[in-house]
Amino acid sequence: MSKLSLDRILQSQGFGTRKYCRSLIDDGEVSIAGVVHDNYKETIETEGLVLTIFEEEWVYREHLYIALYKPANFECSRKPSHHPGVLTLLPEQFSWRELQPVGRLDHDTTGMLLMSDDGPFIHAQSSPKRHVPKIYQATTAEPVTPELIEQLKSGVQLHDEPAPLAAQHCVQRGEHQLEIVLEQGKYHQVKRMLAAAGNHCSALHRSAIGGLTLDALELEEGEWCYLTPEQLALLVPSA
């Protein structure tokens, strides 16, 4: 449990600079439980706090943990260069909070993207030492063969990698489709592994991270949701 001044609370939730947050409070734009609070120095208990700002409710969150169903042609960068950034799909307040992707998906790859403003969480979730499996659905240019599956499972050598990389699991899902599970998260790994095995990836979709599946979140492309503690627990690999 902690108390913060009202202007600090608004600033921490991404509503702008301290000066701007104070002006919102002075103008009577902030209410709690139906009561306007216009003293920016007032200290408020943050646990269970729900703010109403511009007639929209905002639950106080010390940190953001977001899952986004990333569409194609969006870049996983705060400073995109060729396509819109994924932050344009989210409320503007999240950008003020330094929300950033946990890892990356290529601009043409779709599927589950985690985002957070919690540095230790981002580091832990991105660390190869965590061995968090990520499940991808890949569409291939050439038909999937048993030999291709075996190569991906036994390991293929990629340029600039000291040792072959292998899929944790790989299974055919159609004539030109396979499901591949990876733990390493190397740059363009699925595409490069398929190319090294003699095929080509024409489309890629991430359907799950750890035990958290995109289907369970019931999101459409471009939609996002806050992750509950129970959902976050699914991101921790089982012992």
- Domain residue ranges in the chain: 3-59, 65-128+212-233, 133-209
Q: Which amino acid is at 127?
A: S
* Residues 133-209, CATH architecture: 2-Layer Sandwich (3.30)
Pair 99, 87: CB distance under 8 Å? yes
CATH architecture of the domain formed by 65-128+212-233:
2-Layer Sandwich (3.30)
Are the C-beta atoms of 24 and 59 separated by less than 8 Å? no
Q: Do domains 3-59 and 65-128+212-233 have the same CATH topology?
A: no
Q: How far apart are CA 32 and CA 75, in angstroms?
A: 37
Cα separation values, 9 from 5, 14, 15, 74, Å = 6, 9, 9, 31
- The H-assigned helical ranges of 97-145 are 119-126
Residues 110 and 161: beta-carbon distance below 8 Å: no
**Residue found by looking up tokens 């985002």 in the block:** 115
For residue 217, what is the DSSP state? H
Of 100, 106, 98, the C-alpha closest to 122 is 100
- Length in residues, the chain: 239
Determine the pLDDT at residue 130. 76
- C-alpha pair distances (Å), 79 with each of 63, 86, 237: 22, 10, 31
Per-residue pLDDT of 20-41, as tens digits, reads: 999 999 999 999 999 999 999 9
Which pLDDT belongs to residue 81? 80
Q: How do strand 201-209 and strand 177-182 relate by DSSP bridges?
A: unpaired
pLDDT of residue 180: 96
The ranges of the chain with pLDDT < 70 are: 1, 237-239
Residue 44 burial (CB < 10 Å; 0-12/13-18/19+)? middle
Running DSSP on this structure, what letter comes out for residue 165? B
Tell me the whole-structure pTM to 2 decimals.
Answer: 0.89
Whole-angstrom Cα distance, residue 60 to residue 46? 7
Q: Give the model's pLDDT for residue 1.
A: 58
Q: What is the CA radius of gyration of the chain?
A: 22
**Which class in CATH covers the domain with range 3-59?**
alpha beta
Residue 205, phi then psi, degrees to nearest 5: -140, 130
Residue type, 186: K
CA distances from 142 to 46, 139, 148 (A): 55, 9, 10
The residues annotated as belonging to the active site are 106
Give residue 82's pLDDT.
85
Smallest CA-to-CA distance from 145 within 205, 204, 197 is with: 197
Instruction: Give the pLDDT confidence score for residue 237 in this predicted structure.
Output: 66
